Structure 1
Amino acid sequence: MFSTSIRFSADCVDDHVWLGDLEAAENTFMLDKLNITHILTILDYKPVYNKDDKRIRLYIEAEDIGSYDLLSSFETCYHFIENAVQNNHNILIHCQAGISRSATIVAMYFMKKYTLTHEEAIEKLSNKRCYHMVCPNNGFQSQLQLYHQMNYAVDKTHELYKDFQSERLRTNYGLEKSDKITKTEKEIIDDTDRFPIKSEEKTLETEEVEYQCKTCQHKLFTRNDLFYHQQGRGKSDWSTKPLELDETICDKQVFTYYTDWMIDVFDSNVGDIHCISCQTKLGEYSLDGKKCECGHWVMPAFHFDQNQIERHNEMNHNHVEKS
């Protein structure tokens, strides 16, 4: 729904930069009157625009929850804002209420432009938007603080960034590196070699097993990191019918738990897993889950291509012929 009201629920907070809410973004009359040509939207859904809309837009998907990764979008947002400002274009930055998500982005812009801490940026923004609340949620404020600690750059190689992503994944999905094999999994392993990499040899049970990149032999994970699941059967549309399970442990595909090195390959909720040594594609991940060939839904899913990894004995590589 677009408005022609002369009331505008946005404030000019810096040269060419406006901060507001969804109502402001839909007020075409005032957008035209103020010559706002660029709009940066931060919402958990993408709005529908008029077909004749000529404004330049950037949409960032984000929920207003503290564990949501808004940090990874900071650089994209900054460059979009800065490009508009440098070309003397007016830009509106908005979310639903103009309080948390969009305020976080404008605070980030202030921090980098004026070399401020996140507290100083939020205070400056609050003074500019005196009739409206400015209150990024606690999680977003922590991300702003991290942005300051990384010297106003999103450095995905920085240890603080890796710690942030690790903690976020653990919080959202309960992902913890498995240091010990559970009793059930130990019984599975002792009973039979279920790991589905085709091999003519069987490693001695008393020796630790590791899995390497087939291209460069870089160590990826050990047997302790394997994610075992019961074989699923039934309707392929898992979302509309409860999954039926049998007692058979699936040996069709290779899934692992989250391991610390994987943080280097994350870019979004879905993507490819590459070897951090040689960059060979090893598989794919989906934090929303992936269906195994057996029909079982694994969530979150860290899936490795059997053709791209090799199994080795970690201690001395002694093998016995498979009977």
Structure 2
Amino acid sequence: MITSDLSAVTDSTSSCETVDLTSIPSTSTKARVLSSLSRFRDRLGTEMDEILPNLYLGSLRDAVDAVQLKKNRIQCIVSVHDLTAHHPAHEHLKVLRIQLSDCSSVDISAHFSTTNQFIHNARLKQAAVLVHCLAGVSRSATVVAAYLITVCDLSFSNALKFISKKRPVVNPNFGFRMQLCAFAERFSMIERHRLREHFGRKAFDAQFAEDRAAVFLEVGHSSCAVL
């Protein structure tokens, strides 16, 4: 089983400090988080970035920015963080929530099949998807990398290289990188075949060709393995 095998890759000796958000008023928590992310974004000069057609990567601040959501025609959102509050900006959007911390010991790979299917389902329907965490640097970048590894048949290093060209601030933590390496080397082909069967060979292969062409234009033919 993919998730059980990949869980062995996580570093069980590492720990992650967490905050009990239930003890803090949600409005106060949200205000502090958004203020911090706003300052972070100002320093980096970044908003959500388009990785592939109808696939965007960004921060929590981007995910609640009505102007950006409208401008990029976002219809679906993958939220990958450890906050629980819902936001009014998402009331009319389809949202997949993955609650986890940005910690090396967390088994983010257990969610790859779910996020891959959600993202691909939206893109095949020409619906734009935003994948975000708090800063758009580690957790969301890992989810997008797993998706690219699967649907574009890329190695981990080439997937991260491609994403970094689109969003230079991406930097998955060490544990997530190890899980992505294991996924790319041992399980991505199984996952790709699963998605092809689920969505149909014709639809999957047509999107595969478009996405590979986009990757080729950005990072060159050497980054595209042969399926």
TM-score by length of 2: 0.62
Q: 2:6 aligns to what?
A: none
Contact 1:8 1:24 in 2 (8 A): no
Are 2:181 and 1:138 equivalent residues in the alignment?
Answer: no
Deviations 1:218-268 (A, max 9, x none): xxxxxxxxxxxxxxxxxxxxxxxxxxxxxxxxxxxxxxxxxxxxxxxxxxx
Q: 1:148 offset after TM fit, Å?
A: 1.3
Are 2:83 and 1:38 equivalent residues in the alignment?
Answer: no
1:52–1:113 CA distance, 2 compared to 1 (3 A): closer
Deviations 1:168-207 (A, max 9, x none): xxxxxxxxxxxxxxxxxxxxxxxxxxxxxxxxxxxxxxxx
Q: Which has the higher contact order (CA 8 A, sep 6+)?
A: 2
Q: 1:49 offset after TM fit, Å?
A: 1.9
Question: What is the CA–CA distance in structure 2 between the aligned matches of 1:52 and 1:73, rounded to whole Å?
Answer: 21
Q: 1:33 offset after TM fit, Å?
A: 2.4
Are 2:128 and 1:90 equivalent residues in the alignment?
Answer: yes
1:52–1:80 CA distance, 2 compared to 1 (3 A): closer
Contact 2:76 2:94 in 1 (8 A): yes
Q: Give aligned pairs, total.
A: 150
Q: 1:70 offset after TM fit, Å?
A: 0.4
Give unmatched runs, 5+ long, in structure 1.
155-323
Question: What's the Cα RMSD here?
Answer: 2.2
Question: What is the CA–CA distance in structure 2 between the aligned matches of 1:27 and 1:9, rounded to whole Å?
Answer: 10
Contact 1:107 1:122 in 2 (8 A): yes
Q: 1:51 offset after TM fit, Å?
A: 8.2
Contact 1:66 1:140 in 2 (8 A): yes
Q: 1:8 offset after TM fit, Å?
A: 6.9
Greater fraction of residues in strand: 1
Deviations 1:113-157 (A, max 9, x none): 111111110001001114xx1110010001101111223147xxx
Contact 1:8 1:30 in 2 (8 A): no
Paired letter, 2:183: Y
Larger Rg: 1
1:48–1:85 CA distance, 2 compared to 1 (3 A): same
TM-score by length of 1: 0.44
After the TM superposition, which residues 262-273 of structure 1 pair with which residues of structure 2 at under 5 Å, given as runs? none
Q: 2:108 aligns to what?
A: 70
Percent identity between the two aligned chains: 31
Question: What is the CA–CA distance in structure 2 between the aligned matches of 1:77 and 1:125, rounded to whole Å?
Answer: 17
Give unmatched runs, 5+ long, in structure 2.
1-29, 39-44, 192-227
1:52–1:26 CA distance, 2 compared to 1 (3 A): closer
Question: What is the CA–CA distance in structure 2 between the aligned matches of 1:64 and 1:52, rounded to whole Å?
Answer: 23
